[in-house]
Amino acid sequence: MTDSNRVLIFDTTLRDGEQSPGATMTHDEKLEIAELLDDMGVDIIEAGFPIASEGDFRAVSEIAQRSKNAVICGLARAQFPDIDRCMEAIKHAAQPRIHTFIGTSPLHRAIPNLSMDEMAERIHDTVTHARNLTDNVQWSPMDATRTEWDYLCRVIEIAIKAGATTINIPDTVGYTAPRESADLIRRLIETVPGADEVVFATHCHNDLGMATANSLAAVEAGARQIECTINGLGERAGNTALEEVVMAMKVRHDIMPFDTGIDTRKIMHISRRVATVSGFQVQPNKAIVGKNAFAHESGIHQDGMLKNAETFEIMRPEDVGLAGTSLPLGKHSGRAALRAKLKDLGTEVGDNQLKDIFVRFKDLADRKKEVFDDDILALVSATTEGADAIQLVNLRVTCGTVPAEAEIELEIDGKDQQATSEGDGPVDATFKAIRVLHPNKARLQLYQVNAVTAGTDAQATVSVRLEEDGMIATGQSAHTDTVVASALAYIQALNRLAVRRAKVGPGADKREISYKEM
């Protein structure tokens, strides 16, 4: 592997990915995802936007202190206070990076009402200021793909001369196409003085479904850093998906002879964790990490797979961390077998968590004939939370030809309370009964049910997203009874809202700074 063929992977799941409405992660979840990204070989982790809120600052700061291998990057607008706050957050990282940006297209220049010359001066001053704080500075002309060519060249040259070491070219609105993306990078490298001394990066959005193609085209034209997120998580239609660009370069190394430092065997595990903590489930037909990515139902396909897996698979499931087999466990399986299965699935748990998972596993095995890998992973997701103020004790639902009625018993702050409510169906009745015992103004933004495995005894994974006073929280749970799973997910979301409300305090801004993502 030569340096000229090395492509850096810049993951922005914790910054741009978290900007997806409803994808907000807790502090501990951010730390967990950052650790997984670091462990899988991501080169640069954009940990957050430190000046946005105190919570963002604390998360970036702690990730910087914990990082082992990756460069830890913070985002900052083209303003001195942003840059100073960013440096304060990342200063303890072994390899800190400041990423500063400003919108350079006509539409974005109109927002701060700056002339071309005024913006050019600000770029010079802010990049210089950042470079005086650290020798690793990334600069981005937001909405670069809609910026006038001459002006784009001018401001990139200014940023390079001011000390930027990475120049990122964002397709902020997912407007460009592969050939155009490649031409832009190629022309910039050929035209801008000093371009050969910096790394060019590409940052694409998926509004037209071309983020992966645009990123790979940019690499072929000379970009050596791809900005991406796990599962393509991100604003609107999402960002470039890390798993897609990494596996594309791995599988088609014959025509894209580029290398990354990613351990692809860890892709599936982190994909599942991001889906769980964000509440954004991966669509079944999603490339690389979708549930059906390695499923074969057609008779012709199955026959071909039995004779030679390469007839219908261009990569092995093991290459992305998917177990080659999905042998089920049963009610007679012991704790050692469960621990071994979890290890095979890329999940390490402590003794206390294993004990909790094992109890749930035995309960599930009594209700299901076979407990598959996805069932076990769903149990893991359901046992990662700590002690909550609200816990489900018992639920009884009556529905059918009569109005649905839910009788629920909750433990709230250590005290058992009961309530009964009617509703438009069993889930509505259950949620209303919960609100009787725990009054709240939270608005249900999302209610989603997915079967974990096939069959009438399958577990249902329910995702719930709640919004209250500008704060958003998600809850997710799995159970063979869909109504019970719904209640557990709803309660988990309420518990998370309560935690955030306590941290923010009454009357405080829920997010101090809002900004347009790149």
pLDDT tens digits along 366-425: 877 677 777 787 777 666 555 578 999 999 999 987 899 999 999 999 899 999 999 999
8 Å CB contact between 389 and 414: no
CA gyration radius for the chain?
25
> Do 425 and 346 sit in the same domain of this protein?
no
Is pLDDT of 513 > 90?
Answer: no
Give the list of residues 6+ apart from residue 449 with CB closer than 8 angstroms, or none. 460, 461, 462, 482, 485, 486
* 300 has pLDDT over 90: no
What was the pLDDT predicted at 384? 54
**310 confidence band (pLDDT: 50, 70, 90):** low
The answer on pLDDT for 515 being more than 60 is no
CATH code for the domain of 490: 3.30.160.270
- Helix, strand, coil percentages (3-state) for the chain, rounded to 5, are 45, 20, 35
Binding-site residues for Mn(2+), in ranges, read: 16, 203, 205, 239
Say if residues 72 and 87 touch (Cβ distance below 8 Å). Answer: no
89 falls within a domain:
yes
Q: Tell whether the model's pLDDT for residue 247 goes beyond 80.
A: yes
Please indicate, yes or no, whether residues 112 and 255 belong to a single structural domain of this protein. yes
Contacts of 217 (CB under 8 A, 6+ apart): 178, 179, 181, 182
pLDDT of 298 over the 80 cut: no
Q: What is the dihedral of CA 304, 307, 310, 311, to 10 degrees?
A: -30
Q: Is a pLDDT exceeding 50 seen at residue 509? A: no
Q: Is residue 459 part of a domain?
A: yes
Alpha-carbon dihedral sign for residues 112, 113, 116, 118: negative
Q: Is residue 191 part of a domain?
A: yes
Top-confidence residue, 136 or 355: 136
- In this prediction, residue 480 carries a pLDDT of 87
Task: Compute the distance between CA of residue 295 and CA of residue 273 in angstroms, rounded to an integer.
Answer: 21
Indicate the annotated binding residues.
16, 203, 205, 239
- Structural domain count, the chain: 4
For 72-90, what is each residue's pLDDT tens digit? Answer: 999 999 999 999 999 999 9
CA dist 288 → 41, 242, 292, 322, 412 (Å): 18, 10, 9, 10, 42
Higher-pLDDT residue of 324, 342: 342
Portion of the chain with pLDDT greater than 90, in percent: 61
Name the pLDDT band for 312 (thresholds 50, 70, 90). Answer: very low
What pLDDT, on the 0 to 100 scale, is given for residue 84?
98
Residues 309 and 328 in one domain: no
Residue 2, pLDDT score = 39
Mean pLDDT across 93-107: 97
> In CATH, what number is assigned to the domain containing residue 115?
3.20.20.70
Statement: residue 327 has pLDDT above 70: no
* Non-local CB neighbours of 32 within 8 Å, separated by 6+ positions: 273, 277
**What token pair was written down for 371?**
């407990």
CA dihedral 488, 492, 494, 497 (to 10 degrees): -170
Q: Are 395 and 430 in contact (CB under 8 A)?
A: yes
pLDDT band at 124 (very low <50, low <70, confident <90, very high): very high
Residue 158 in domain: yes
pLDDT mean across residues, the chain? 88
| Average pLDDT for 277-306 | 69
| Domain residue limits at 376 | 323-382
Residue 301 banded pLDDT, cuts 50, 70, 90: very low
Q: Taking the alpha carbons of 503, 505, 507, 508 in that order, is the dihedral positive or negative?
A: negative
Please report whether residue 516 resides in a domain.
no
> Going by C-beta distance under 8 Å and a sequence separation of 6 or more, which residues neighbour residue 361?
329, 333, 338, 371, 376, 379
Q: Is the pLDDT of residue 349 over 90?
A: no
Whether residue 231 contacts residue 197, with contact meaning beta carbons closer than 8 Å, is answered with no
Q: Give residue 512's pLDDT band: very low, low, confident or very high (50, 70, 90).
A: very low
Asked whether residue 466 carries a pLDDT value surpassing 60, the answer given is: yes
Which residue, of 224, 250, 278, is where some domain finishes? 278
pLDDT at 375 (0 to 100): 78
In the DSSP assignment, the letter for residue 22 is T
Structure tokens at 34: 């950052």
What is the pTM assigned to this prediction? Answer: 0.80
pLDDT digits (tens, 9 = 90+) for 11-39: 999 999 988 766 778 888 899 999 999 99
Residue 139 shares a structural domain with residue 193:
yes
Statement to judge: residues 377 and 233 lie in one domain: no
SS3 at position 144: helix
Span between the terminal Cα atoms of the chain, in Å: 31
State residue 324's pLDDT score: 54
Same domain, 378 and 463: no
